[in-house]
Chains A and B, each alone.
Chain A
Amino acid sequence: MPPMPKGIRKPKDAKKTFFRILRYFGDYKWQLILVCLLVIISAGAGVVGTYFLKPIIDAYIVPMIGAQNPDFSGLFSVLVSLALIYLAGALSTYLYNRIMITVSTGSLYKMRMEMFSHMQKLPIRYFDTRTHGEIMSRYTNDIDAMRNMLSQSVPQLISSSITVVGVFSMMLILSIPLTVLVVVMMVTIFGVIKVVGKHSANNFRAQQKAIGAVNGYIEEMIEGQRVVKVFCHETESKEQFSHLNDSLCGAATRANTFANILMPIMNNLSYIHYALTAIIGGALTIYSLKQDMGIFTLGLGALVAFLQYTRTFAQPITQVSQQFNVILNALAGAERIFALLDEEPEVDDGYVTLVYATVDADGTVQEADHRTGLWAWKHPHQDGSLTYTLVRGAVEFEDVEFGYEPEKVVLNGISLYAKPGQKIAFVGSTGAGKTTITNLINRFYDVPDGKIRYDGININKIKKADLRRSLSMVLQDTHLFTGTVMENIRYGRLDATDEEVIAAAKLANADWFIRHLPQGYDTMLTGDGSNLSQGQRQLLAIARAAVADPPVLILDEATSSIDTRTEALIEKGMDRLMEGRTVFVIAHRLSTVHNSHAIMVLEQGQIIERGNHEELLAKQGKYYQLYTGMFELS
């Protein structure tokens, strides 16, 4: 089967990428050098082996024809050396392939690991601006292209080039005039490759476009199949599909025809070459037997060896031309992989850390080496002194301005102060900036120094990991991981005991349904917890936050996809979870927020109203309109 050029994408800077890959395989430097040597031996054995036909026929077989007592010891010893060469060749083939497996699996492993751990360090911004499919394809398509290149193309390219050079030199040694014919053939072969290749590339591009159209239509219609049914639109969609499908058929047939005919053309051109060599070579051999022909002299053995060479010549040339595309494709893939690796990781120059703490009778805060239920911020100062501040959960915003893109301001002049243990709610339309505020608290995005303070400390000074450990989030879309229910809850705090996990589940009102699962807490969750209902998933997320037991809690639309009756069930768990913590609540539904200490109504990045439920109702402003249903959030 001819390799399918899947819409060849050209690398931007092939040379630079190539050298970067080389550097990448530095660990395997010696193996790679060995591979090169072995490939040379493997290819060389084939080339040299064929050359042996000349002495064997010319010196050991033909002269002895009709001899009375033929002496085969000469033939035997030549064959023994040939056998040794062949053995070395076959062994080298095995060895270089074997080493290449180690090199390619090892370096791909290293590359995957590096990509993954680098990806973990990237800021949320990176994930916001790319689709999952796009990032996934770095791991699948691009790594695959690299794998093809490493395990097949590169060794084959080396081997083919050596074969071509070796064969050509041997041909020159055997007969210069016949080599002239080879050059003519080579020009023809390159011409054919160029013409067929050009047509093939054009047609493959057309095919790619047609495939895109067909696949797009399939996706749209299968995803909308229910709507198609409801509107009895089957006939129309079949007709339109048939149309697209037919044009794909035409384009694909043309593209594949060109791909298909290349091999037979090359193969048979080589036979034509073989035949022409036989005619000219035959004539030269006959004349050589009669008279001295100078450089035109050709023995029978030489002719036989030369003929063998003509058969081995065309294949590597064709291969090189095909592998070239594979390599270009892989380089383009490598470039995208490197782009991921070059992506700036989240900056973290914080030095304030989170530690367990105890409070002495006189009120001084001490660091503890075990869990005490209290935390403190350990704050080293420039003069070398250390201060400890108890974590209480006070959060302060001072005139914060922020935009995901510099020219598009999302938050404008936000100032707020959350006292420890307070429940602060944000209400507003999609895009008003509610989630952005919480994204700033846990530093998914950064704002300039001093604008946000946590227990009086500038949050940019706090180590990100420690800052986030002191906050817990429950998001609108609950994400669960493959693993047991127990493991999923424990995700909140990895050293939590089974008892602590169960206690957290009870707190979140999740214990009763977990016990009804087939294996209780050991039930495996797969595919993002698809075997649970939305409400159950939400409860697990709440339990997860509970087990983390942080001083500050962020609930981002945590109950929005649950109907109001189910929400009432969760509410109890939520209330218990929120007790004694500073809580930020983002909600679409007002029933979730009415008992907050303060409610902020956001519009277009600004706080337009603030106060508690009663105050805001009395104001008869936006909140009042929302509450009475005169206005609906979008």
Chain B
Amino acid sequence: MKKLFSLLRGKYLLMSILTPLLIIGEVIMEVSIPRLMAEIVNTGIQNHDIAYVTAKGGMMVVMALASLAFGALAGWTASIASIGFGTEIRKSLFERVQDFSFSNVDRFSTSSLITRMTTDITNTQQAWMMLIRSLVRSPIMFVSASVMAFSINRRLSMVFLIAVPILITVLTLVITKAHPRFKHMLKQFDSLNAKIQENLIGIRVVKAFVREKHENNGFEETASALRDAQMRAEKLVIVNMPVLQMMIYVCILTILWVGGKMIVVGDMLTGHLISFISYVNQILMSLMMISMAFTMLVISKASINRIVEVLNETPDIPDMAEDDTPIKDGSIVFDNVSFSYTGDLSNCTLSGINLTIHAGETVGILGGTGSAKTTLVHLIPRLYEVTDGSLLVGGRDVRQYRQETLRSSVAMVLQKNVLFSGTIRENLRWGNPDATDEEIVAACKAAQAHDFITTFPDGYDTVLGQGGVNVSGGQKQRLCIARALLKSPKIIILDDSTSAVDTATDSKIREAFKKELAGTTTIIIAQRISSICDADKIVVLDNGQIDAVGTHQELLKTNEIYREVYESQQKGVA
């Protein structure tokens, strides 16, 4: 929470302080107006003094104008303060997430991060605006109107001593009772939405098995549960309004009865009676506003908590290198490396990995789903931190490099890869912002992408939609490879990056790699044996452990898994 409020600084902090001050001004003007009215009646009309009436009336106009100015200014400063606050939160949240390592993102999931940065920030922003406006305004209004009422007539003010506690009790009771009911209602909302979502995703299954009626019955249950929950929650809240009305009415009646008698016997003046009625409204309404604002605040609390969670999350992989040593060569050594996503060594994803890769070698990695191939290569550019053992790149532990240095020498083509909205050229320049057109074309030729790019009417300036939606899977993969090549890395890792590319093109890419990336260490993860069979070294992974290392011929002879995979792919070639 402290972290959140440290973002409220400079201009926005100033405006956040100024807003309540302006609102105090507005409220003081507002509560003075009924007082002046009382004087108009008591003195002006009583003495038939039109000049007095006009003078006091003029004062009221001035006060109303001042109140208007204060109020409008407060509206302005409040929006500067809260929107600014929201902007700062959004900025630091975004920057924080950019600094997250893979394991941090795993913990939150992408969609939840997006909600936190959009909806939750809007809620927090609105809550702050309400806090510095309404939640300041109402208590001040309550106090100053009460002071005014007491100063006019102590005895008559006793009526508030009865009405206010009753109202507070009812409002508090309703809020505390309603809160769990609303929570329950929101839960029912979630399950209703989940039900619909599930149905939309599985609509073909529903239809294929003719389960429409079955689904309808299930939905009816959820929908009626929601209806009942909603009913239970709202039933309580609607008590507020009539109770408030009732209290206002009771006060007015009492004031008229007691006050009326006091006027007749001369204990009070008519004008005071009139101002009193105004104060009833101001005092009781402000209580209502406080309770409403409070409810809103409780609702936004969940959003605030979710934001704070992200702000408090420290990036798992700190950059602690003292010097910026460049990477000597593309050699890689896994020295008894173990890795666990939870950091718990008894539940390892990878264990006891020993592997030496010389600079310039081509290494294939093979293994079934869940054998931790991807995890293994993620450790090389230090996207995850090894849990035990050490990993050397260019003869030095990866933790001793600056992350930027390490990652600009290790190019990685991810399995689930993403292109960004923008032109093809802009996307390719992610690899190297200063790449010349010749370099770009060369990289694309090596990745077998140049040919299809030039068939587009706009060539390299073709605009890609978000996520690269307008190119096919195979084309996307080739663009991603070209993007990685532009880094001119010492190590390049292809994580199942040619799965959607046909075998002929695939082999062309590998040929180009051999020719142009002679000195670059190449690591290829593949499902197809044909993609890796001519590698210098093939690593067979099984269940997070190295089952065997060898060439294609060696493994065919000695390794059972490798042979099985080979045979399963020979039966039907793919």
Contact = CB atoms under 8 A, between A and B. Distances in A.
A354 to B, nearest CB: 10
Contacts of A482: 194-195, 198
Interface string B143-179: 0000000000000000000000000000000000000
Nearest to A312: B281
B203 interface: yes
B264 A275 contact: no
Interface stretch (B110-118, B324-332, B333-341, B342-350): B110-118
B216 A89 contact: no
Interface string B130-149: 10011000000000000000
B105 A79 contact: no
A76 B257 CA distance: 7
B220 A222 contact: no
Given A90-B246, A268-B68, A275-B60, A307 B75 contact: no
Interface in B220-241: 220, 223-224, 226-227, 230-231, 234-235, 238-239, 241
A97 B270 contact: no
Interface string B420-432: 1100000000110
A272 B61 contact: yes
Given A109-B227, A226-B414, A282-B57, A591 B568 contact: yes
A82 B253 contact: yes
Contacts of A472: 208-209
Given A94-B239, A234-B99, A136 B198 contact: no
Interface stretch (A21-29, A320-328, A577-585, A624-632): A624-632
Contacts of B512: none
B198 A481 contact: yes
B574 A67 contact: no
Given A90-B246, A304-B274, A565-B568, A630 B504 contact: yes
Interface in A279-314: 279, 282-283, 285-286, 289-290, 300, 304, 307-308, 311
A582 to B, nearest CB: 16
Contacts of A265: 68, 71-72
A223 B257 CA distance: 69
Contacts of A465: 210
Interface centre among A151, A214, A268, A304 (most CB of B within 10 A): A268
A253 B568 contact: no
A479 B201 CA distance: 7
Contacts of A246: 87
A278 B502 CA distance: 88
A108 interface: yes
Contact of A108 (B80, B227, B383): B227
A238 B94 contact: yes
Interface string A221-237: 11111111111111001
A591 B574 contact: yes
Nearest to A633: B502
A226 B504 CA distance: 29
Contacts of A1: 126, 129-130, 134, 296
Given A218-B118, A565-B565, A566-B369, A479 B205 contact: yes
A262 to B, nearest CB: 8
A407 interface: no
Contacts of A290: 48
Interface centre among B45, B130, B194 (most CB of A within 10 A): B45
Size category of the A interface is: 35 or more
A162 to B, nearest CB: 15
Nearest to A589: B574
A621 interface: no
Size category of the B interface is: 35 or more
A222 B257 contact: no
Given A89-B249, A226-B414, A275-B64, A237 B216 contact: no
A209 interface: no
A112 interface: yes
B167 to A, nearest CB: 13
Nearest to B93: A218
A75 B495 CA distance: 91
A151 B41 CA distance: 42
Interface stretch (A115-123, A358-366, A388-396, A498-506): A115-123
Interface stretch (B404-412, B439-447, B514-522, B546-554): B404-412
B472 A634 contact: yes
Contacts of A565: 368, 561, 564-565, 568
A630 B417 CA distance: 26
A65 B63 CA distance: 32
Contact of A93 (B227, B242, B565): B242
Interface string A584-596: 0000111111100
A548 interface: yes
A36 interface: no
A69 to B, nearest CB: 11
A219 interface: yes
B345 to A, nearest CB: 23
A223 B467 contact: yes
Interface centre among B65, B78, B203 (most CB of A within 10 A): B203
Contacts of B263: 61, 65
A57 interface: yes
A338 interface: no
Contacts of A473: 204-205, 208
B60 A274 contact: yes
A260 B414 contact: no
B301 interface: no
A120 B204 CA distance: 10
A279 B65 contact: no
Contact of B54 (A279, A548, A592): A279
B568 A567 contact: yes
B530 interface: yes
Interface in B249-276: 249, 252-253, 256-257, 260-261, 263-266, 270, 273-274
B67 interface: yes
A102 interface: yes
Interface string B23-41: 0001000100100010011
Nearest to B59: A275
A253 B80 contact: yes
A66 B270 CA distance: 13
Contact of B133 (A260, A589, A630): A260
Contacts of B204: 124, 444, 473, 475, 479
B79 A253 contact: yes
A381 interface: no
B230 A105 contact: yes
A40 to B, nearest CB: 15
Given A60-B260, A225-B97, A49 B249 contact: yes
Contact of A225 (B86, B105, B235): B105
Contacts of B201: 132, 479, 528
Contacts of A564: 527, 565, 568-569
Contacts of B87: 245-246, 248-249, 252
Contacts of B564: 565, 568
A260 B126 CA distance: 12
Contact of A307 (B37, B200, B212, B407): B37
Nearest to B64: A271
Given A136-B196, A264-B71, A282 B216 contact: no
Contacts of A594: 571-572
Given A264-B26, A275-B33, A629-B530, A223 B110 contact: yes
B137 to A, nearest CB: 10
A260 B75 contact: yes
Given A65-B264, A469-B210, A232 B574 contact: no
Q: Which A-B residue pairs are the 3 nearest by beta carbons? A: A264-B71, A632-B502, A591-B572
7 contacts: A91-B242, A102-B231, A132-B197, A230-B383, A230-B414, A468-B208, A629-B574
Given A136-B197, A246-B87, A257-B76, 10 more contacts: A86-B246, A233-B430, A234-B98, A272-B65, A276-B57, A278-B37, A481-B202, A492-B209, A566-B369, A632-B506
